Amino acid sequence: MTTSPLRFGLIGAGRIGRVHAAGITADPDAVLAWTADPFVDGARDIAARYGGVATDSPAELVASGEIDAVLVASPTPTHVDLIAASIDAGLPVLCEKPIDLDITRVDALAAKVAVAGVPVAIGFNRRFDPSFAAARARVAAGEIGELEQLTIISRDPAAPPESYLAGSGGIFRDMTIHDFDMARFFASDIVEVSATGSTLFDDGARRHGDFDTAVTTLRTRGGALITIVNSRHSATGYDQRIEAFGERGMLQVDNLHTDLVRSSTSTGAGTASPFEPFFLTRYALAYAAELREFVKLARGQASTSPTFDDGRAALVLADAADRSAREGRTITVA
């Protein structure tokens, strides 16, 4: 029996919306049916490139009766209302992170999500990176014994525009939130958060009272320590590494390079190309796998898609890290 492709309504035609439009089109089990963005020219451009109907009204998209699921890739302040509208329409929804910058708004939506009977997934795509997923599976299988230390290094090639920083919620809610979810992917029982931040090079971050450099330490209930190292710049490219250490050894995930060529000459040995320069190329496989898992979730099949509760938990850690860095103290979390 052949299953028809899942008809997607995409809300948001910006950079990440275009990534998802391309991903939906590339997946044989999905089709882009509608795209909505208040700046309708972006939606029209996506529709011209990938097909479907363009509109400036997310409400029209949700009420169209011509979609089976919603993918929310719009600005963060719109997420809560769009998740709620999708639930009311009985439509499974995959929403980009974070759910919101205000935990009280997230908590106000939580009860609705819990009783809705409609799948809600959050876009923590890094769980689906093949190397990160393999390392986590091997830790869970006991290959290195009990996890004692986890180190997550995440550095962007360059700081974002100041206009983006103005509404980002700060480095912990915008950037580190992916790393908080990755920490929970490996060890979900985090009970303490200690963070420190500096503003070393980014004038935009300085003007908005944000950090461009941060280190966060998390402690699990069992005493394992997780260290997250962040920077808003990296001269070598998009720096994404993980090391998991336990009593019987360690597992390491290195960076992806732009090619696999290494050079050894009289001026240097084992010289490699830079790291992948952009998150879209670094995590291309992860975005595709994320979409495949959500399609399964929307169809009522077993799925590993991150849940609404995962999105809430990552925001709790982000809020705690921000408080810790600003107040100079360790924050206890549930």
Mean pLDDT of 50-68: 98
Q: Report pLDDT for 157.
A: 94
Residues 177, 134 within the same domain = yes
How confident is the model over 203-258, as pLDDT tens digits? 999 999 999 999 999 999 999 999 999 999 999 999 999 999 999 999 999 998 88
How confident is the model over 9-40, as pLDDT tens digits? 999 999 999 999 999 999 999 999 999 999 99
Asked whether residue 189 is domain-assigned, the answer is yes
Give me 21's structure tokens. Answer: 């439009």
How confident is the model over 70-111, as pLDDT tens digits? 999 999 999 999 999 999 999 999 999 999 999 999 999 999
Q: Report pLDDT for 257.
A: 87
Residues 23, 153 within the same domain = no
| 274 pLDDT tier (thresholds 50, 70, 90) | confident
DSSP SS3 for 95:
strand
Mean pLDDT of 58-70: 98
Q: Report pLDDT for 193.
A: 98
- Residues of the domain holding 327: 127-286+313-332
Q: Which of 91, 118, 145 is the last residue of a domain?
A: 118
Find out whether 32 and 45 touch, Cβ atoms under 8 Å: no
Residues 205, 75 within the same domain = no
Q: Report pLDDT for 270.
A: 84
How confident is the model over 116-156, as pLDDT tens digits? 999 999 999 999 999 999 999 999 999 999 999 999 999 99
Q: Which of 118, 144, 178 is the last residue of a domain?
A: 118
Residues 88, 137 within the same domain = no
- Kind of pairing, strands 225-231 and 147-155? parallel
| 2 pLDDT tier (thresholds 50, 70, 90) | low
Cα 25 from chain centroid (whole Å): 21
Q: Report pLDDT for 317.
A: 98
Residues 136, 253 within the same domain = yes
User: Long-range contacts of range 269-274, CB-CB < 8 Å, 24 or more positions apart?
Assistant: 274/236, 274/237
- Kind of pairing, strands 93-96 and 249-253? unpaired
Q: Can you give 133-159 as a three-state secondary structure string?
A: HHHHHHHHCCCCCCEEEEEEEEECCCC
Residues 319, 231 within the same domain = yes
Q: Which of 63, 98, 118 is the last residue of a domain?
A: 118
Whether the full predicted model's pTM is greater than 0.85, yes or no, is yes
How confident is the model over 275-312, as pLDDT tens digits? 888 888 889 999 999 999 999 999 999 999 999 999 99
Q: Report pLDDT for 296.
A: 98
* Sheet containing strand 249-253, strands side by side: 249-253, 239-246, 147-155, 225-231, 213-220, 190-198, 331-332
Q: Please state, in angstroms and rounded to a whole number, the distance separating the CA atoms of residues 211 and 214.
A: 7
Cα–Cα nearest to 72, from 311, 261, 329: 311
CA angle in degrees (0–180, nearest 5) for 196-199-202: 145
On the CB side of 13, CA atoms within 13 Å amount to 24
Q: What is the DSSP letter of 54?
A: E
CB atoms within 10 A of CB 251: 19
Residues 179, 328 within the same domain = yes
Find out whether 298 and 6 touch, Cβ atoms under 8 Å: yes
Q: Please state, in angstroms and rounded to a whole number, the distance separating the CA atoms of residues 316 and 177.
A: 9
CB atoms within 10 A of CB 308: 22
Cis peptide before 157 (omega within 30 of 0): no
Q: What is the DSSP letter of 188?
A: -
Total domains in the fold of the chain: 2
- Domain of 184: which CATH number? 3.30.360.10
Residues 34, 141 within the same domain = no
Residues 269, 208 within the same domain = yes
Q: Please state, in angstroms and rounded to a whole number, the distance separating the CA atoms of residues 317 and 127.
A: 17
Is the pLDDT at 1 greater than 60? The verdict is: no
